[in-house]
Amino acid sequence: MNLTADRLRVIINSISDGVFTIDLNFNITFINRAALEILNISEKDAIGKKCYEIMDNETCRNDCPLRNTIKSGKQKINKPICLLINKNRKPISVSTAPIFDDESKIIGGVETFRDLSQVESLRKELKKQFSFEDIIGKSSAMQKLFDLVSLVAKSDSTVLIEGESGVGKELFANALHSLSTRNKMRMVSINCSALPDTLLESELFGYLAGAFTDAKKDKKGRFAIAEGGTIFLDEIGELSQMVQVKLLRVLQERKYEPLGSSKSLNADVRIITATNRNLEQMVEEKKFRKDFYYRINVMKITVPPLRERKEDISLLIDHFIEKFNHIYGKRIEGISPIAMSMLIQYDFPGNVRELENFIEHAFILCREPLIRPNHLPEKFNLNNAVPAIEIASNMDELEAVFLISVLKKNNWNRKQTADELGINPSTLFRKFKKLGIKPPKK
């Protein structure tokens, strides 16, 4: 059936995706109703204008899909870009194709685009579901931790937060304070490894004028400043036993004395401590006081390292991309499947902090919509790239890459893999079937 131009126009105007065509000078020759609605413009403001004048985005300026299509003669499918419409961000998915004349000569191009705002909104709602007081995590380990923190926050007990460097122990301390009945008062933090004993003692308890040579006037300590609120003692494993003794009295009697004073002051504060060291082992080695350890270890929260909750990586990457877009004034839309696969297979000895550093490193180098492997630090070179068979082009393939990497790590043992992922072996089997994964028979 031959379609007249008018019938073709009716058909194209009836679809919900935006469509426009251009000539070889990039002037718009046709635009449908959906495109006008998505771009919030009128037909007279579009026809005859350059396409890059109405498509305000970083991609059109630096890596225009239509320009590439006309140059190569090849289609581009579902390229994610982000428009700026009336100063508001609108995510879209773009596909382009060349237009040929009867002699197979390129005479222009057509672009179709789909508004992803609703998808983006759903993604943000999903992110909220897995965000807890600025802590990001959808893994079962983190969800259990969120439940525990909610319960512990309601009590006034002393809390010990354990975990490797970079896992975000201070975020959990902040969450405990903000969810507690003390949240209207201050939370005061101090790094116990940053000061020598004499300075640390005066910082914690304060001093009176004349207590030592340079003490010209009275100074409040951190306990006095945090009165009624919370004090967070980070790197508690670095304390000398002398300071441990002084803090032990605060924990036992809720009293302390400023340097140079003989008068005891009440300490109405909740004490939260954190460490990346194995305090139990230090107690056995006589490097940490047993009585002090038992006093700070009323409630223990152990934050798992990132390598044990790799399903959180994609969510954290989205969070850091949003953060650094704001800081650097960029509009990076995401990360390529290959770069994501490379990050998922990395063990992250520096944990979440290291991942954040990698994404910031990528932001400095990236001048396109997606973070790619060449934007990552040098350790992610071609020698560390995943084989072509494991390169993901959609979320199912990305999940397959992740599962295969965990399987390999566990020497293809399905039960160990299921245990590490915190899922039932039958759930893992269903994922294998859905994703077409066939582990070697053992």
Please report which confidence band the pLDDT of residue 418 belongs to, taking 50, 70 and 90 as the band edges: confident
Beta strands in 116-258 (DSSP E): 131-132, 135-136, 159-162, 187-191, 230-234, 255-256
- Asked which of 119, 151, 184 is the last residue of a domain, the reply is 119
Are residues 270 and 240 part of one domain?
Answer: yes
Per-residue pLDDT, 78: 75
Are residues 251 and 316 part of one domain?
Answer: no
Are residues 114 and 83 part of one domain?
Answer: yes
Quick: pLDDT tens for 163-216. Answer: 999 999 999 999 999 999 999 999 999 999 988 888 898 899 988 876 666 777
Identify the CATH number of the domain in which residue 274 sits: 3.40.50.300
Kindly state whether residue 442 falls inside one of the protein's structural domains: no
Quick: pLDDT tens for 351-403. Answer: 999 999 999 999 999 988 888 888 999 887 644 444 433 444 455 556 666 77
Place of tokens 């969510």: 315
Distance of alpha carbon 185 from alpha carbon 267, whole angstroms: 14
Kindly state whether residue 124 falls inside one of the protein's structural domains: no
Are residues 108 and 144 part of one domain?
Answer: no
Q: Which long-range contacts (CB under 8 A, 24 or more apart) does 251-258 make?
A: 251/158, 251/292, 251/295, 251/296, 252/295, 256/204, 256/205, 256/221, 256/223, 257/205, 258/205, 258/206, 258/207, 258/208, 258/211, 258/218, 258/221, 258/224
Identify the CATH number of the domain in which residue 91 sits: 3.30.450.20
Q: Between 389 and 130, name the one with better pLDDT.
A: 130
Domain of 376 in residue numbering reads as 307-435
- Asked which of 304, 319, 350 is the last residue of a domain, the reply is 304
Quick: pLDDT tens for 33-79. Answer: 999 988 889 998 899 998 888 886 666 766 788 888 998 888 887 77
Are residues 295 and 193 part of one domain?
Answer: yes
Q: How far is CA 7 from CA 1, 13, 44, 317, 416, in A?
A: 11, 10, 21, 46, 61
Are residues 110 and 47 part of one domain?
Answer: yes
- Asked which of 278, 304, 330 is the last residue of a domain, the reply is 304
Kindly state whether residue 95 falls inside one of the protein's structural domains: yes
DSSP lists the bridge partners of residue 189 as 232
Neighbours of 217 (CB within 10 A): 8
Count how many domains the chain has. Answer: 3
Q: β-pairing, 18-23 with 106-115? A: antiparallel
Tell me the pLDDT of the chain averaged across its residues: 85
Q: How far is CA 155 from CA 151, 159, 223, 247, in A?
A: 7, 10, 19, 21
364-373: burial string, b at 16+ Cβ within 10 Å, e else: eebeebbbeb
Kindly state whether residue 125 falls inside one of the protein's structural domains: no
Residue type, 67: R
DSSP lists the bridge partners of residue 22 as 28, 109
Are residues 153 and 49 part of one domain?
Answer: no
Are residues 212 and 79 part of one domain?
Answer: no
Kindly state whether residue 441 falls inside one of the protein's structural domains: no
Are residues 344 and 279 part of one domain?
Answer: no
Per-residue pLDDT, 121: 64
Are residues 75 and 42 part of one domain?
Answer: yes
